[in-house]
Amino acid sequence: MKIGVLALQGAVAEHIRSIEAAGGEGVAVKRIEELQELDGLIIPGGESTTIGKLMRKYGFIDAIREFSGQGKPIFGTCAGLIVLANRIEGQEEAHLQLMDMTVARNAFGRQRESFETDLDIKGIDEPVRAVFIRAPLIKEVAPTVEVLSEYKGEIVTARQGHLLASSYHPELTDDYRLHAYFLAMAKEAAQE
Ligand SMILES: NC(=O)CC[C@H](N)C(=O)O
């Protein structure tokens, strides 16, 4: 499976490394034409406002919506999760508006800017190590969105069909199981 990592800003190399460690092929994506050859796309963490701005500038909003419309899987991590959401608390405008959920940015406050924890994730046997950095939370989801994990009662991993989102950075650990999970989604979609 060939998985692209949107390379406008943020943690790109780490996702490529994790995809390869999980048995896929990872490539950096800088132009919309490059989407055509992919089986799946990762939108990395970084700064959602910056990623959103650059996506608009280079035509990625329409191109990724079309990619999603073809049923191709997309995985948004941290800022990438914010970019996928239909609604962002306190902001007029969202970005891709592909996942039917409301998210809150920087939801853990200054006291806990970054931390690590082990999360139970539906579909993965043992707890997964998760790194949270100025992380967002999923505040509300539509009934079509499946909650895959919570941290202290708040939603931090969710899936809506071919779309996957995590509040944290799974690419900053040596635990590649969430990338393997996403590769399995891409395989499934390719067979349809
Ligand atoms: N690590 C991250 O991706 C942080 C996300 C960032 N706080 C935002 O709002 O976009």
Binding-site positions for L-glutamine read 46-48, 105, 133-134
Which atom number of ligand 1 is nearest to the Cα of residue 133? 1
Q: What percent of the chain has pLDDT over 70?
A: 99
Question: What does the pLDDT look like over 14-39, one tens digit per residue?
Answer: 999 999 999 999 999 999 999 999 99
Three-class secondary structure of residue 5 per DSSP: strand
- d(CA 188, CA 143) in angstroms, rounded, equals 22
pLDDT score recorded for residue 1: 97
Helix pair angle (177-191, 12-21), 10° resolution: 70
The domain that holds 81 is classified in CATH as 3.40.50.880
Q: Which of 109-123, 131-145, 171-185 has the lowest mean pLDDT?
A: 109-123
pLDDT tens for residues 74-123?
A: 999 999 999 999 999 999 999 999 999 999 999 987 657 899 999 999 99
Query: By alpha-carbon position, which residue is closest to atom 6 of ligand 1?
Result: 47
Structurally, the chain folds into a number of domains equal to 1
- Active site annotation includes 126: no
| pLDDT digits 0-9 by tens, 50-76 | 999 999 999 999 999 999 999 999 999
pLDDT of residue 108: 86
- Torsion angle of alpha carbons 102, 107, 113, 114, nearest 10°? -50
Is any atom of ligand 1 closer than 6 Å to the C-beta of 81?
no
3-state per-residue secondary structure call for 6-74: ECCCCCHHHHHHHHHHCCCEEEEECCHHHHHHCCEEEECCCCHHHHHHHHHHCCHHHHHHHHHHCCCCE
Domain boundaries, position 182: 2-191
CB distance 77 to 83 below 8 Å: no
